[in-house]
Copies of this chain bind each other. A is one copy, B any other.
Amino acid sequence: MAKRLIPTLNRVLVEKLIPPSKTSAGILLPERSSKLNSGKVVAVGPGLRDKSGSTIPVAVKEGETVLLPEYGGTEVKLGEKEYHLYRDEDILGILHD
């Protein structure tokens, strides 16, 4: 059974991060504040081609933590793991601590 997926074109495979309800010090996080729809980039496609035929690199890289749109994303189950597939232009930004 397939374990790995290399996305096509400018698609990005993301593993969603479930935000902790408590801080490392155990303090309960207020409901709204922790709910950042984010995920880790697991794999990226080769990119789209522009009109002149050259390839446009995908806007995010493997390993980056990204801010995801509220809607969209195609659910993909590989073995027991669940991922989501996005087009790179739908990913809102790259998150840094």
Question: Which of A's residues lie within 8 Å of B, judged by CB?
Answer: 1-9, 11, 13, 19, 32-36, 38, 43, 45-46, 49-54, 56, 59-60, 65, 67, 69-70, 74, 76-80, 85, 88-89, 91-97
Contacts and interface: CB of A to CB of B under 8 A. Distances in A.
A50 B79 CA distance: 38
Nearest to A23: B1
A91 B5 contact: no
6 contacts: A2-B38, A3-B96, A5-B96, A8-B89, A9-B59, A69-B74
* Interface of A: prevailing SS: loop
B34 A92 contact: no
B97 A65 contact: no
Contact of A94 (B8, B19, B32, B54): B8
Given A8-B92, A59-B8, A94-B5, A51 B52 contact: yes
